[in-house]
Structure 1
Amino acid sequence: MPGDAGEGVLCLQDQRDVFHLERESGVIPAATAGGQPGQTTVRVRFQEHSDVRYECAYCVYVNGDPTEEVIVLRGDSREVEA
């Protein structure tokens, strides 16, 4: 599922009838040359207002090569619904 190294393909599980995750900016995983943490922005769009919990996993690349490590993003629709 990963794309090009540093591009960070978003969701291993994407239930488009309920929610969709997309990367807005940054690199996943994000880091700077000085070793300081980088930053990435992810948008979650819900197709319906309900008690939805979402989860996705990102592959970690080191020097362009995938590792066995993953970063997991979890959230709850109740935190973002108006």
Structure 2
Amino acid sequence: MFPGNTFYNVATALRLTGSLNTSALEETFNEIVRRHEALRTTFVIVEGDLLQVIAPSLTIPLSVIDLRHLPATEREAETRHPKNRF
């Protein structure tokens, strides 16, 4: 409805500690998306009318950036670097 406006985006960050099963996390996110139409919904303008489109299915790949090669003191700063944002 408002191109370029991020008004409808709600971002959050989580700090996870310990071992992470990235496959299980990705499957969990995609199961949540499968169960909730609102997460598969987009809006398009067709001939001046705003239409709601619900995708029958949607798979979202989880992007993983491995920072283990960096010293612990640099990892936090790297996570906040703009290039690592989706």
Fold in common (TM above 0.5): no
TM-score of the two chains, using structure 2 as the length reference: 0.30
Higher radius of gyration, 1 or 2: 2
Between structures 1 and 2, the one with greater strand share? 1
Between structures 1 and 2, the one with greater helix share? 2
